[in-house]
Amino acid sequence: MIRLLLGGVKSGKSALGERLLLSGPPPWRVLATGRALDADFRERIAAHKRTRPPEVAVIEAGEAAMAALGEEAGRGGTILFDSLDFWLFACHDQDVMQTCLPALTKGVGPYAGPGGPELIVVSTEVGLGGLAAGAAMRRFADALGRLNQAVAAMADDVRLVVAGCPLTLKGSAS
């Protein structure tokens, strides 16, 4: 089963993802894609780690996230993929961005449908504000929008998190 959690920065989507992770069947894994390039982001990552129980394994995958998802699918349990936007950022080269959709479909595919392991995907919802002024930001927003739509199409449960409040867009919240 695939769950997609969308929202803005500090909307509460990762916190919801962690709650859903621990309510799913073990083994529990977090597939992390963010890279700590500055002190503030290092602290954000450390804060996430401090709140997780020790039995939650963390896989630091970066741009190799889709391969890691494929490898982990056979282990069952529940995976929190945090986050789709940071994976795309790790694959920021324009040529790579254009090949992300097939890679995403291959990586996420084993989790779709009944009987598969549970995958919780966190991503930033883009496009709720003005159009980005720079061409690179527009390409990134367009690519992330396409990836979010692709995951939503495969997902059983899609939620938009606003100010810590999850709104069900698809499926039934449990």
**What contacts 16, CB < 8 A, 6 or more positions away?**
5, 159, 161, 166
Closest to 104 measured CA to CA, from 140, 80, 69, 57 = 69
Q: How many residues does the chain have?
A: 174
Q: Are 148 and 2 in contact (CB under 8 A)?
A: no
Torsion of CA 123, 21, 62, 106, to 10 degrees: -80
48 is catalytic: yes
State the DSSP H helix or E strand holding residue 123, giving kind and residue range, or none if neither: strand 118-124
Q: How far apart are CA 90 and CA 54, in angstroms?
A: 27
- Which entry of 19, 35, 44, 48 is annotated as an active-site residue? 48
Show which residues are catalytic.
48
